[in-house]
A = this chain, B = another copy of it.
Amino acid sequence: MTARQELPVLIPGYGEVRPYDERRRGEAAWRAPKRRGDECGKLLDSIAMAFDACAIRDGATLSFHHHLRNGDAVLNIVLAEAARRGLRGLTLAASSIFPVHAPLVEHLKSGVVRRLFTAYMSGPVADAVTQGVLADPVVMQTHGGRARAIESGELPIDVAFIAAPAADRGGNISGVVGPAACGPLGYAMVDAEHAAQVVAVTDHLAPYPVAPIDIAQDRVDFVVRVDSIGDPAGILSGTTRPTTDPVGLKIAATAAQVIEASGLLGPEFSFQTGAGGVSLAVAAELRSIMRRLKIQGAFASGGVTGYLCDMLDEDLFRAIFDVQCFDLKAVESYRRDPRHLAMSASMYASPASRGAVVDRLDAMILGAAEVDLDFNVNVTTGSTRRILGGSGGHADTADGSQLAIVTTRLQAGGGMKIVDRVGCITTPGSTIDAVVTEAGIAVNPRRADLEKRLREAGLDVCTIEALRAAAGPREAAAPAASDGRIVAVVEYRDGSVIDVVRQSS
């Protein structure tokens, strides 16, 4: 059947008429093979088939996410296939790179991969990049800057590979089912939404439909079954725990006192902290304070630990915004508590979104490899100028939060942490409000209001210069090799360039 014969060619006020044509039904816009019989058409048996199905060629941009952290197998198996096929000149947009991704070094050397965009890297890949393995500099983004670049089309992705703890034949993905259950898939959500093609890679094919769904079938083109997407032991620790070290505990207690004195504690209070021992100790101290003051805040956010979930269970917050779980307890909380909310990396931190969660954040606890006299923070390179990390959400949360607190010892690992000038600026000092050490609290001179409150609360406020002096005598820092080749470009969350890393051995 075709449309009625009497249809006019043109309808005034509507325009040209494209008549319904029975013969073309199901042919035009239908992207997904229709299930007529047993096969849904999305399910593939190997990564090789996914390369064929997506027609991945030299120079393609492939994206990966890091929810499986140092247990991730997906990036490695995908690139092994690319190498097997003799592909060259790929661009990788990987939200983070861990030591487990060591095989990538070979692909950088051989030219399989030519460019790399990431928000964090550590281990052999970071070392190789520092030593100049790539001709083109790596682009070090922030988590929010990565989302912004993908959404804006600045960083177009040809194929997003999603490590899926569970998936079904229709392409629905769940983060809380299967042996590698890791919680919300916040970074992958952005890739799934914007990549030209999306491949779910899973070791747990669930009956259709998998539930709950973290990334839905209308975002996913293909589902590939593999033996393992990763080593659960490397993905998450069982439980993350606060530090028990006395110096760390003192710093944490001081940081919590800074929050209390800041005046931010109240029914709209929000809080983010990392998974490190001192960061968790701050949460533990804050928990005591909130209990004592009988305060329920608005939300905790970020990469989420079980410790924050305990605080939710205790009703110390109304909700949690979770872009990625750091431990199994957090995964379990996300599974059972409807107040534990998933968020995409864009909702978390994109400066171009209609309101990111970081931009509503009150208190943020940050780490540092180095802090300098301008309060600039380096979490990208170490004192030897080798790449050992990257912003992740550091620069995003520092900018968005009302109270960005860096907690650090004066020295660690034999090196000074408070320096004249950081080796690399990850996060500009203008977005840091206070630096808390065992020797006192330095408040950014821009925050005279905060300094006044801390002094009134009897806290030990000093200048950053005093902390610098307490950290130790000036020593010849590894000279910034200002004439070396640029091996990494450090982008701020808005895509501007805030610093570069130069080649070193």
Contacts and interface: CB of A to CB of B under 8 A. Distances in A.
A171 interface: yes
A13 interface: yes
Nearest to A176: B338
Interface residues of A, number: 97
A11 B218 contact: no
Contact of A496 (B20, B35, B115, B359): B20
A36 B402 contact: yes
A11 B489 contact: yes
A11 B339 CA distance: 46
B496 A318 contact: no
In the complex, the count of this chain's copies comes to 2
A219 B11 contact: no
A380 to B, nearest CB: 13
B135 A360 contact: no
Contact of A31 (B1, B213, B268, B354): B354
Interface string A1-44: 10110111001111001111110111011111011100010100
Most buried by B among A32, A209, A482: A209
Contact of A354 (B4, B219, B268, B400): B219
A359 B4 contact: no
Contacts of A35: 359-360
A400 B25 CA distance: 11
A267 interface: yes
A318 B209 contact: yes
A172 to B, nearest CB: 9
Contact of A268 (B4, B208, B211, B497): B208
A35 B269 CA distance: 12
A341 interface: yes
A319 interface: yes
Nearest to A28: B494
A497 B19 contact: yes
A171 B354 contact: yes
B494 A29 contact: yes
A299 interface: yes
B3 A218 contact: no
A499 interface: yes
A351 interface: yes
A259 to B, nearest CB: 17
Given A14-B137, A217-B354, A428-B22, A29 B148 contact: yes
Contacts of A152: 29
Interface string A252-288: 0000000000000001100000000000000000000
Contacts of A428: 1, 20, 22, 25
A486 B30 CA distance: 29
Interface in A285-342: 298-299, 318-319, 321, 338-339, 341
Contact of A355 (B42, B299, B494): B42
Given A34-B359, A209-B318, 20 more contacts: A1-B430, A4-B425, A4-B500, A13-B115, A13-B134, A18-B496, A19-B497, A25-B430, A30-B352, A31-B353, A32-B354, A36-B402, A170-B355, A207-B267, A208-B298, A212-B339, A213-B341, A216-B343, A217-B347, A220-B354
* Interchain residue pairs A-B with the least CB separation, the first 7: A13-B136, A32-B355, A29-B352, A20-B498, A218-B353, A218-B347, A20-B496
